[in-house]
Amino acid sequence: MVLDEDEDGKVKSESQEALHPGKLEMNFEELLKQKEEADKRCKVEARKKKMEQEKQEFELLRQEMGEDEVNESSDTVSKEYEELKKLKRTGSIQAKNLKSKLRKSSS
């Protein structure tokens, strides 16, 4: 073990010289800061992924709802169309009946 004397007159061994207390504390603080930053980045990235996934799920649900609405509206239109055709037929029949009644009564 080699002993050296520094400017202040303190005696240090080689192992003590390698580990300056201020430097060790600074390294610990830097490592802690880096770890906190890494955790923060990880959390931000996880939030981004979750938000992107929710966006995709929402878009998929919206598309499915849109398709359901289109199907429902086309079903409604086709039902209304059938009703109109029936009314037209019955209306035509009623009009013919009235026409024939009018002819019979005027004759």
For 37-66, the pLDDT digits (tens) are 999 999 999 999 999 999 999 999 888 887
DSSP result, 81-103: HHHHHHHHHHHHHHHHHHHHHHH
Which residue type does 15 have?
S
| Mean pLDDT, range 12-21, rounded to an integer | 54
pTM score: 0.39
- Enumerate the domain spans of the chain: 21-106
Which of 10-24, 65-79, 93-107 is predicted most confidently?
Answer: 93-107
